[in-house]
Structure 1
Amino acid sequence: MHVSRLILHDFRSYASVEIDLDPGATAFIGSNGQGKTNLVEAIDYLSRLDSHRVSGDTPLVRAGAERAVVRADVVRGDRKALLELEITPGKSNRARVNRGALPRTRDIIGVLRTVMFSPEDLALVKGDPSDRRRFLDSLLVLRTPRLAGVRADYDRVLKQRNTLLKSARGRRNVEIATLDIWDENLARTGAELVANRLRLLDALGPYLVEAYVRVAAASAPDRRTITASYKPSLDLAPDIRDQAVIQEALMDEIARRRQDEMDRGISLVGPHRDEVTLMIGDLPAKGYASHGESWSLALALRLASFELLREDDDDPVLILDDVFAELDQGRRQQLAELVGDAEQVLVTAAVADDVPGALKGHRFDVAGGEVVRA
C-alpha cells in the first residue's frame, strides 16, 4: 500500500498544495515551522481520523478558512482508490471514497493504513495511562475498523452516565432505574472494548519483544524481556478474554462502586480507567527506564504495530516524523535497516544529513509554503 498523490486545500499552513509520491523512501526536508510535518500529518489523519499533535479539528484548518480538504490517491496492489475528507470544525466532517459519499465519516478509517513514529511517542512510555490507551485503541481500530463504532458508543455512554452521576451528586432521590440502564450499556460496550484490547496485546506481544531487542541492540545489547500487560479497573483473571465474562465482571464492579461513584459524581469503572503497563525486565518502564531505553521502547511499540498490520494485510504506510534528530547514530542506522523494505516510508527532517543513507530515496524541499521535488 502506498500514497501516490496528496492534495491539500486549507489544511494547516497550506492554502493549496499537490504532490506526487512514489513507493519506497521519500524525505521531506525543511527547517522547523516550514510545514513538512503538516504533509505527513494529513496522510495519517486520513488513515485514522486522529492527529498525533492535537486532539481537536480546529488547528487542522488554515487560519481564516472555514474548512480543510485532504485528498489522496491510494494504491493497493493493482487497485487505486481516491480518498477525500472535508474537515469542518464545529460541524460533521464528510468523507468520500472514489467520489462516493460514505454514510459515516468514520467509515473511511482503515482504507489507508499508516503507522507514525514521532517525538510525541515518548509519552507512550513516560506519559499518562490515557496515552497508552489511545495508542492501543488507534491500532485496534486500524486492524478492525468496525470497532471505531464501539469506541464511539462507549464514549457516548460514558458521557451520559457521568452527566447523570454529576447531577445526582449529594442527592438522596436519584433515578436508580435510569442509572441501571446506563450501567448495562457501559458494561456491554466496555466489555467489547476490553476484550479486544486484551486480544490485541496478545497478538502484539511477540512483535514487541523482537522489535525492542533489534532496536536496543543498535546502542547496547539488551536481552531483558519486554512485556506489555493490561491492567483493568476491576479484578479480572489474566487469562480472561470472553466478552460475556468481562461484561458480568464489569457489572459486579459497578454495583460494588456505585456509592463511591455517586459521591464523586464520576464513573470509576470501565476501560477509560484501565492501564497498559510496560515492563523492561522486572521494572516498570515508566519511572525506571533511561532516556535511551524509553526511546527504544517507544520505537519498538510502533515497529511492532507495523509488523502486526503487515502480517494482517498489505504494508501500511510508515511515517517517521522528525525522528532521527532524537536518535543517536546507532539507533538511526538500525531503524533505517528495520524499515528499509517497507513499501512506502515517509520521512521528515530539518537537516538532510540526519536521514540515513538507506532512506534517502526521493526528496522534497519544504520552505515558505512550497513543496519542491529536489
Structure 2
Amino acid sequence: MDGQGRIYLKRLALSTFRNYGALSIDLDGRHVCLFGANGAGKTNLIEAISQLSPGRGLRSAGLPDMARVEHGAAGNAWALGATLFDGDMDRLIRIDASIEGGGRGKRAMQVDGSTATANSMSELVRIIWLTPAMDRVFAGGATERRKFLDRQTLAHFPIHARHSTAYEKAMRERNLLLERDFADPVWLDGLEERLADHGAHIAFHRTQTVARLQKAVDIRPDGAFPKADLSLEGAAEVAFNAGQTLADVQDMLKAALKDGRRRDARAGRTLTGPHRSDLVVIHRPTGVPASLCSTGQQKALLIGLILSNARALEAEEHLRNPLVLLDEAVAHLDPDRRAALFDELSALKGQAWLTGTERSLFDGFDERAQFFEVAAGKVEAV
C-alpha cells in the first residue's frame, strides 16, 4: 500500500490494560490480522484502539473495567500509547486512565506532548467497527439500530457525542420535573428548548450520515456484500429530508414537547424526539426488510454498511480515512466472501484490524496484511 496521504497506526503500546501487563507492537501501514484462541486478548487490542474515538469504546466499558486484574484485584490505572501516521507526519498519542476512590475513572489525553480533549482526538482519528454483539442490529429493537447509526455518525460528526450527552441529560431532568404535581412551566420551557436544540442537531447529523452512506452504498460494486436501501423514521429526520432548516426543526420539536407534557407525565417518559427514531434497512436484491433476512444475509449487510461508511468517510474532502475494526467478522464467511472482504479492504485508504481464531482465516490477504499471533497477553509477529 502507498502510505502517502493515508492515516494509520504505526505503533501501539499498552500498560496494564485488560490482560496486557506491558505490550508494544510496531506496524508498517498494512492491514493487521490478529489470531489466537478465544480469550487470548485479541478483542482487548482493538478495544484499546477504540478508546481513541468518542464514547466508551467498542465494549461500552467503563475505565475501571479496562484495568488489568492481578492476583484477584483490579489495578488502579492503565495507559495507551500510539504513533499515528497522519498523511505526512507522525503524531504521538497517549491516554492515561486512573481509577479514583469509589471506582470512578479519570482519563488524561495528550497529542504530541500537549493536552488533548476527546473532541480534538476525534478530529485526529476516525474509527468505525463491527463486533459480534452487533449481529442483532436488524433483528433487535430500534434502540440497537439507533446505537449502530449513531456510532457511524460519530465518525462523520464527532460533536454528535456532545449533543447526545446533553440531550439525554436534559431529557432526564424533564422527566423528573414532569413527575411533580406542579411542574414549573418556565423551567420546563428551558429544558424543552435545550432538548429541541440538541435533538435537532442529532437528527441533522443522522440524516447527513445516512445520505452519505447511501451514496457510498450505491457506488460500491455489486458483489458478495449486498447493497441496502436506507431511510430514517422520526419526525425530525423526516423534516430535514423534506428540506426543513435547523431552526424549523428546533421549533417543531419544541412545540411537540410542550404539547406532549400531560401525555409524557402520564407515561413517565418523553415520547417525542430523536431518541425514538429508527433506521430502516432494506435488503436491495430481494426488497425484504433486513429484520426478515436470514442471519447470513444480515451479517453480509452489516459488513457492506461498514465498508460503505469507510468509503463515505474517504469521499469527504474535509474528513479523514478511518481505522476499521472488525472483530470475528470473517469466521462465518465462506471463502469467496472472505476474499471479497479482503479485496474491498485493500481498496480503502485506511488500515483495518481483524481478529479470528485461526491464521488460515486470513490466507487470502497474503502480503497485504501483517499477521500477529495472540496468546495469553503476548503478541508475536509471524
Fold shared per TM-score above 0.5: yes
Whether 2:359 is the aligned partner of 1:352: answer yes
Counterparts of 1:75 and 1:241, CA distance in 2: 40
Which residue of 56, 61, 77 corresponds with 1:67? 77
Which residue of 177, 187, 200 corresponds with 1:191? 200
Counterparts of 2:321 and 2:236, CA distance in 1: 37
**8 Å Cα contact 2:154/2:161 also seen in 1:** yes
**8 Å Cα contact 1:118/1:321 also seen in 2:** yes
Q: TM-score of the superposition, structure 2-length normalised?
A: 0.88
> What CA deviation, in whole Å up to 9, does each residue of 1:127-163 have, x standing for no partner?
3322222222223222232333222222221222222
Aligned residue number for residue 82 of structure 1? 92
**8 Å Cα contact 1:207/1:307 also seen in 2:** yes
> What CA deviation, in whole Å up to 9, does each residue of 1:17-70 have, x standing for no partner?
111111112221110100011111111221334322234333222222112211
> Where does 1:249-268 land on structure 2 (aligned, <5 Å)?
249-268=252-271
**8 Å Cα contact 1:110/1:145 also seen in 2:** yes
**8 Å Cα contact 1:212/1:297 also seen in 2:** no
Aligned residue number for residue 120 of structure 1? 133
> What CA deviation, in whole Å up to 9, does each residue of 1:243-291 have, x standing for no partner?
11111211222123211111122111111111111122443211x1111
Counterparts of 1:359 and 1:191, CA distance in 2: 47
SS in 2 for 1:51: coil
SS in 2 for 1:87: strand
Aligned residue number for residue 26 of structure 2? 20
**8 Å Cα contact 1:198/1:241 also seen in 2:** no
Percent identity (aligned): 25
**8 Å Cα contact 1:47/1:111 also seen in 2:** no
Aligned residue number for residue 283 of structure 1? 288
Counterparts of 2:77 and 2:145, CA distance in 1: 30
Instruction: Give the 3 Å change call, closer, same or farther, for CA 346–234 of structure 1 in structure 2.
Output: closer
Deviates more, 1:179-188 or 1:56-65: 56-65
Aligned residue number for residue 227 of structure 1? 229
**8 Å Cα contact 1:11/1:61 also seen in 2:** yes
Aligned residue number for residue 301 of structure 1? 305
Counterparts of 1:130 and 1:181, CA distance in 2: 27
Counterparts of 1:192 and 1:119, CA distance in 2: 30
Aligned residue number for residue 99 of structure 1? 113
Task: Give the aligned CA root-mean-square deviation in angstroms.
Answer: 2.2
Instruction: Give the 3 Å change call, closer, same or farther, for CA 235–80 of structure 1 in structure 2.
Output: closer
SS in 1 for 2:204: helix
Instruction: Give the 3 Å change call, closer, same or farther, for CA 243–318 of structure 1 in structure 2.
Output: same
Which residue of 333, 336, 351 corresponds with 1:330? 336
SS in 2 for 1:215: coil
Q: Which runs of 5+ in 1 are unaligned?
A: 217-221
Q: TM-score of the superposition, structure 1-length normalised?
A: 0.89
Counterparts of 1:362 and 1:163, CA distance in 2: 53
SS in 1 for 2:37: coil
Aligned residue number for residue 277 of structure 2? 274
Whether 2:156 is the aligned partner of 1:146: answer no
Aligned residue number for residue 292 of structure 1? 296
| TM-fit CA distance, 1:241 | 4.5
Counterparts of 2:159 and 2:236, CA distance in 1: 26
Which residue of 200, 211, 217 corresponds with 1:208? 217
Q: Which runs of 5+ in 2 are unaligned?
A: 1-6
Aligned residue number for residue 146 of structure 2? 133
Aligned residue number for residue 379 of structure 2? 371
| TM-fit CA distance, 1:235 | 9.3
SS in 2 for 1:338: helix
* Equivalent residue letter for 1:85: I
Instruction: Give the 3 Å change call, closer, same or farther, for CA 43–174 of structure 1 in structure 2.
Output: same
**8 Å Cα contact 2:327/2:355 also seen in 1:** yes
SS in 2 for 1:110: helix
**Aligned length, in residue pairs:** 361
Instruction: Give the 3 Å change call, closer, same or farther, for CA 71–299 of structure 1 in structure 2.
Output: same
Instruction: Give the 3 Å change call, closer, same or farther, for CA 215–248 of structure 1 in structure 2.
Output: farther
Instruction: Give the 3 Å change call, closer, same or farther, for CA 269–359 of structure 1 in structure 2.
Output: farther
SS in 2 for 1:336: helix
| TM-fit CA distance, 1:74 | 0.2
SS in 1 for 2:105: coil
Aligned residue number for residue 219 of structure 1? none
* Equivalent residue letter for 1:187: A
